[in-house]
Amino acid sequence: DVKVTQSSRYLVKRTGEKVFLECVQDMDHENMFWYRQDPGLGLRLIYFSYDVKMKEKGDIPEGYSVSREKKERFSLILESASTNQTSMYLCASITARGQNTGELFFGEGSRLTVL
Amino acid sequence: AQSVSQHNHHVILSEAASLELGCNYSYGGTVNLFWYVQYPGQHLQLLLKYFSGDPLVKGIKGFEAEFIKSKFSFNLRKPSVQWSDTAEYFCAVNAIGRRALTFGSGTRLQVQP
């Protein structure tokens, strides 16, 4: 089974702190994604990566950056956390062959609270 | 840009009732369509998908969805819901050639025993 692991299930940070959210997948998937999930807004795409060191902005990239130094790992970075970034963050992955035709595999999410 | 609308935000049904959740998308070209489900405390998982062919697709746990191109809709249905169907349901669309899925706002389904 594909496993997408998000390192932190729950985090509490203070405004202005730098936050790292880590995601690792074990199926050699080329494509990885970061979404945030908010009640009433569904999932919104922050960033995605289709190869090592490659990244593209999603629909709401402001305030975030990402890093993909290794194929299996995709990190989301909040340079200076703000209260409006309190949310559930979901990582997902899929093979390049599977994109457009297959299913995304999701991690269990990281719930971030910024005080 | 592609977008997805789910008009039912919160649905409450009794067991054995029939279910239909609406999903409309906005994109003029060819799309792939998906329904994902998130059970309480669990990660999102694929319920069913449509790529081409028969517009009526069947998924896991007795769910089905019908793609109506003229209406840009992909509604989810189940003839008789169970308490275990309590979950949040997300419709998603992917335009051919686009790398990422666009999700709707989700519908929270509560099934009462």
| Beta pairing partners, B94 | B32
Burial class of B98 by CB neighbour count within 10 A (0 to 12, 13 to 18, 19+): middle
* A109 interfacial to chain B (CB closer than 8 Å): yes
- Which residue on chain B is closest to A107 by alpha carbon? B43
* A44 interfacial to chain B (CB closer than 8 Å): yes
Matching CATH number, B3-112, of 2.60.40.10, 1.10.10.10, 3.40.50.300, 3.50.7.10 = 2.60.40.10
**What is the domain range of residue A59?**
4-114
Q: What H or E segment, with its residue span, contains residue B72?
A: none
Task: Show residues of chain A in contact with B102, CB under 8 Å.
Answer: 45, 59
Number of compact structural domains in chain A: 1
Listed in sequence order, the residues at least 6 apart from A45 whose beta carbon sits closer than 8 Å to its beta carbon are: A33, A34, A35, A58, A59, A60, B100, B101, B102
pLDDT at B94: 87
- Collect the ranges in chain A with pLDDT lower than 70: 1-2, 98-102
pLDDT in tens, chain B (113 residues): 778 999 889 999 999 999 999 999 998 788 889 999 999 989 999 999 998 899 999 999 999 999 999 999 999 999 999 999 999 999 999 887 777 889 999 999 999 99
Listed in sequence order, the residues at least 6 apart from B26 whose beta carbon sits closer than 8 Å to its beta carbon are: B2, B3, B4, B5, B72
User: How far is residue B83 CA from its own chain's centroid?
Assistant: 18
pLDDT at B79: 97
Cβ atoms B39, B19 nearer than 8 A: no
**CATH number for the domain that contains residue A48:** 2.60.40.10
Paired tokens of B79: 């003839």
pLDDT at A98: 63
pLDDT at B67: 95
pLDDT at A96: 74
CA-to-CA dists, residue A18 to A62, A63, A109, B31, B44, angstroms: 15, 11, 19, 38, 27
Q: Is B21 in a helix, a strand, or coil?
A: strand
Task: Show residues of chain A in contact with B99, CB under 8 Å.
Answer: 31, 48, 50, 56, 99
Task: Show residues of chain B in contact with A94, CB under 8 Å.
Answer: none
Cβ atoms A56, A73 nearer than 8 A: no
d(CA A113, CA A86): 5
Q: Going by DSSP bridges, is the β-strand pair A87-94/A73-78 parallel, antiparallel, or unpaired?
A: unpaired
pLDDT at A2: 66
